A and B are shown apart, each in its own frame.
Chain A
Amino acid sequence: DAGITQSPRHKVTETGTPVTLRCHQTENHRYMYWYRQDPGHGLRLIHYSYGVKDTDKGEVSDGYSVSRSKTEDFLLTLESATSSQTSVYFCAISDPGQNYNEQFFGPGTRLTVL
């Protein structure tokens, strides 16, 4: 299994508070992604990174920001959490030099915003 961890695995927070989710990989993969999964919507891309300090927006980026200061870590920040951001968040990785079209997913973070 690809070495991807997410922290925390579960979090309950209140509306208006900032929240940061961490994705850590030990595979030295260049590309990293954040998705959210909600019933009836499948997985939707929030932001992605194609290299250290190189990031771009995905389909549902409003209210989220990301940072990638080193290869192994990709942080997702909810600047002011809202109830609509209650979801399961998955991080994924891939690499252009290895099985380019396969993404490996982390175990997910279940976030509840009250």
Chain B
Amino acid sequence: GQSLEQPSEVTAVEGAIVQINCTYQTSGFYGLSWYQQHDGGAPTFLSYNALDGLEETGRFSSFLSRSDSYGYLLLQELQMKDSASYFCAVSARYSTLTFGKGTMLLVSP
């Protein structure tokens, strides 16, 4: 089976940096993805890490350590619109995803 752990809620202020951690236990690991979901909306893809290291896309970065079964999403220069739920997910064959339960990020002024 597969399981992922991430914090249920994180709070931060505009302009700050926040890190959302994700640990996983899995068999058949292909990579770690991150998705954003605004309330009531469809999840949208943010990033994917197959190899150890940091991937940067604009204000968002994602990190993976396969040996530690650990990854994180780093959000910089936080904006109010970043208030959303963030899900880590491990991918397997046919790109199937097993999601964590999500982290609700609340950004305040």
Question: Are B99 and A43 closer than 8 Å at their CB atoms?
Answer: yes
Known A-B contacts A101-B50, A107-B42; the reply to A48 vs B98 at CB < 8 A is no
Known A-B contacts A43-B99, A101-B48, A102-B48; the reply to A48 vs B87 at CB < 8 A is no
A window 60-114: CB within 8 A of B: 90, 94, 96, 100-108
A43, A56, A59 — which one has the most chain B CB atoms within 10 A of its CB?
A43
Closest to B8 in A: A40
Question: Are B94 and A43 closer than 8 Å at their CB atoms?
Answer: no
Complexed CA–CA distance, A60 and B77 (Å):
38
Chain B CB within 8 A of A8 CB: no
* A100 partner residues in chain B, CB cutoff 8 A: 95
B41 to chain A, nearest CB (A): 8
Complexed CA–CA distance, A102 and B95 (Å):
8
Complexed CA–CA distance, A107 and B41 (Å):
7
B38 to chain A, nearest CB (A): 12
Complexed CA–CA distance, A89 and B99 (Å):
15
Chain A CB within 8 A of B75 CB: no
Complexed CA–CA distance, A40 and B102 (Å):
8
B80 to chain A, nearest CB (A): 23
Question: Can you report 22 residue pairs joining A to B where beta carbons are below 8 Å apart?
Answer: A31-B94, A33-B97, A35-B99, A40-B101, A42-B87, A42-B101, A43-B43, A43-B89, A43-B97, A43-B99, A45-B96, A45-B97, A90-B43, A94-B95, A101-B50, A102-B45, A103-B95, A105-B42, A105-B43, A105-B44, A108-B41, A108-B42
